[in-house]
Amino acid sequence: MTPTIPSTDTLRHRIAINDCKAQYCYLIDDWDLEALPTLFTEDATLDYGGLGTYHGHEGVREFTAIIEETLERTTHLLTNPVIEVGQGADVESEGDENVTDGEPTHATGRWYVFSTITYADGSSGVRVGTYRDEYRRVNDQWLIAKSQLRFTHSVDYEDNDQNGYWPGLRAHSSSQS
């Protein structure tokens, strides 16, 4: 695929979608989990492979409950975003078009994710994978309609495990920078 120069309108929508995904990561990393469902459509689907599949705002809340029970801290890093807006977006549409009144209503996004994790028991890990998302514009706000997460690499290690990939890597408390 040869990149083309996007229009200002397309860039405006891409930035809004990128901000939505970044906000998703920050809400989890900052433990503002009650706000997470606001980034999703009412009928959203989260397909997180081995972490489970969740539907709607109630499903997002179920996912956040698992985070609260099993994790102490996370840090998400997203890279290599590819965001397709409007007619170029490959989304499943149920009769409606990807563009309404000249404005796009659907989009797709793909990111690599690198995430460090501290579990509730104090052990740690690293996950690397991809997000493949579908977005829908609702009341002039881009929301996540479908999110698929697949891990491609992972490592777990005890805090003092000198045989781990990164000996001595430790999670910082939230008061440290």
Per-residue pLDDT of the chain (177 residues; tens, 9 = 90+): 677 898 999 999 999 999 999 999 999 999 999 999 999 999 999 999 999 999 999 999 999 999 999 999 999 999 999 999 986 555 554 444 555 566 899 999 999 999 999 999 988 899 999 999 999 999 999 999 999 999 998 888 765 444 544 555 555 555 544
Sketch the domain layout of the chain as residue ranges: 8-88+105-157
d(CA 115, CA 125): 8
C-alpha separations of 15 from 11, 37, 40, 117, 150 in Å: 6, 20, 17, 27, 24
- How many other C-beta atoms can be found within 10 angstroms of the C-beta atom of residue 90? 10
User: What is the pLDDT at residue 128?
Assistant: 94
Burial (0-12, 13-18, 19+ Cβ within 10 Å), 119: middle
User: What is the pLDDT at residue 177?
Assistant: 42
CATH for 8-88+105-157 is 3.10.450.50
What single string gives the DSSP state of each residue in 56-111?
HHHHHHHHHHHHHHHEEEEEEEEEEEEEEEGGG-----SS--SEETTEE-EEEEEE
User: What is the pLDDT at residue 122?
Assistant: 86
Only one residue has tokens 């309609």, namely 145
d(CA 69, CA 119): 9
Q: What is the pTM of this model?
A: 0.84
- Fill in the amino acid letter for 131: Y
Burial (0-12, 13-18, 19+ Cβ within 10 Å), 5: exposed
- Which of helix, strand or coil describes residue 149? strand
d(CA 142, CA 124): 33
